[in-house]
């Protein structure tokens, strides 16, 4: 009994430690003044200012646009790459997997400077395209690592059975393989989306004139003092992330129940 209480207390304290900063941020997003350490009364002024702040709205637009595009493109490329890697045997597979681990283990600053040098060498003008390409490159390895475990769990004879019954390889891929690894694809897409929104270093080195994102905008503000509008925006993004997570969990729960019912 004591051990059970201690375990629950430990879990609650850990969760409190993790989420206390976010709770404080949300509370002070409703503060009536710019102070981050003194409560001066409830107000929605920062939420109103958020929708009239052109620089933050512009940064939000580029952040979301690049995050969505990079998540979609990196998920498509990563899914195809994961299926290809899964089909390779021997030393070649180990070499490719180790090469895929390198961008994950590499410090972001190394990846950022390398991409910047590559874009300079090729002659691509820095702007939206270079930031998007750098985010796609950064996210692909994480998508591959999210999908590979699902491919290992899948019965390798399913696609072969489908083709024995007359399905073309492409039809078997669409109707058999993709549905089986869909949870991994969703996980990889969400991870890519989150990493893109969160990224600062790679974005900073590969941005162009007039193109920025929220992390760079917040960094620029930090030298003069963080605008409480950022608290309001961060609160809305956190609530949106929680809503998306609950939606996906509910969807996955229904999918599991459906499969269980069929079985």
The predicted-structure confidence for 3-43, as pLDDT tens digits, reads as follows 788 888 899 999 999 888 888 888 888 888 777 677 788 88
Lowest mean pLDDT among 169-173, 224-228, 252-256: 252-256
Please state, in angstroms and rounded to a whole number, the distance separating the CA atoms of residues 51 and 36. 21
Domains of the chain: 57-249 (1.10.3720.10)
Q: Which two tokens stand for residue 195?
A: 């990493």
Contact 152, 86 (CB under 8 A): yes
Q: How far apart are the first and last CA of the chain?
A: 38
- Facing residues of 31 across strands? 42
Please state, in angstroms and rounded to a whole number, the distance separating the CA atoms of residues 16 and 8. 12
Other Cβ atoms within 10 Å of 77 Cβ, number: 16
Lowest mean pLDDT among 93-97, 141-145, 226-230: 226-230
Q: What is the pLDDT of residue 263?
A: 39
Burial class of residue 76 in the structure, from the number of CB atoms within 10 Å of its CB (0-12 exposed, 13-18 middle, 19+ buried) = middle
Task: Characterize 27-51 residue by residue with b for buried, 16 or more Cβ atoms within 10 angstroms of its Cβ, and e for exposed.
Answer: ebbbbeeeeeeeeeeeeeebbeebe
Q: What is the pLDDT of residue 72?
A: 95
- Mean pLDDT value of segment 178-202: 89
**What does the pLDDT look like over 61-92, one tens digit per residue?**
999 999 999 999 999 999 999 999 988 888 88
């Amino acid at each position: 009994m004591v051990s059970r209480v201690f375990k629950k207390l430990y879990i609650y304290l850990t969760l409190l430690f993790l989420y206390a900063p976010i709770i404080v941020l949300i509370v002070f997003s409703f503060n009536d003044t710019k102070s981050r350490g003194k409560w001066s009364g409830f107000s929605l002024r920062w939420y109103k200012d958020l929708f009239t702040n052109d620089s933050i709205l512009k940064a939000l637009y580029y952040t979301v646009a690049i995050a969505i595009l990079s998540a979609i493109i990196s998920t498509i490329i990563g899914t195809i790459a994961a299926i290809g890697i899964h089909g390779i045997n021997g030393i070649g597979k180990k070499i490719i997997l180790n090469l895929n681990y390198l961008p994950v283990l590499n410090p972001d600053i190394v990846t950022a400077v390398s991409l910047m040098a590559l874009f300079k060498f090729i002659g691509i003008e820095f702007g939206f395209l270079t930031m998007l390409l750098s985010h796609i490159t950064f996210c692909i390895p994480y998508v591959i690592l999210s999908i590979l475990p699902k491919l290992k769990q899948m019965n390798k004879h399913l696609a072969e059975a489908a083709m024995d019954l007359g399905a073309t390889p492409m039809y078997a891929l669409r109707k058999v393989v993709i549905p089986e690894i869909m949870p991994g694809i969703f996980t990889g897409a969400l991870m890519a989306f989150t990493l893109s929104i969160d990224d600062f270093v790679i974005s900073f080195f590969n941005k162009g004139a007039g193109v920025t994102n929220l992390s760079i905008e917040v960094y620029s503000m930090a030298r003069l003092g963080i605008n409480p509008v950022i608290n309001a925006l961060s609160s809305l993004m956190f609530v949106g992330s929680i809503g998306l997570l609950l939606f996906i969990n509910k969807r996955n729960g229904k999918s599991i129940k459906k499969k269980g019912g069929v079985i």
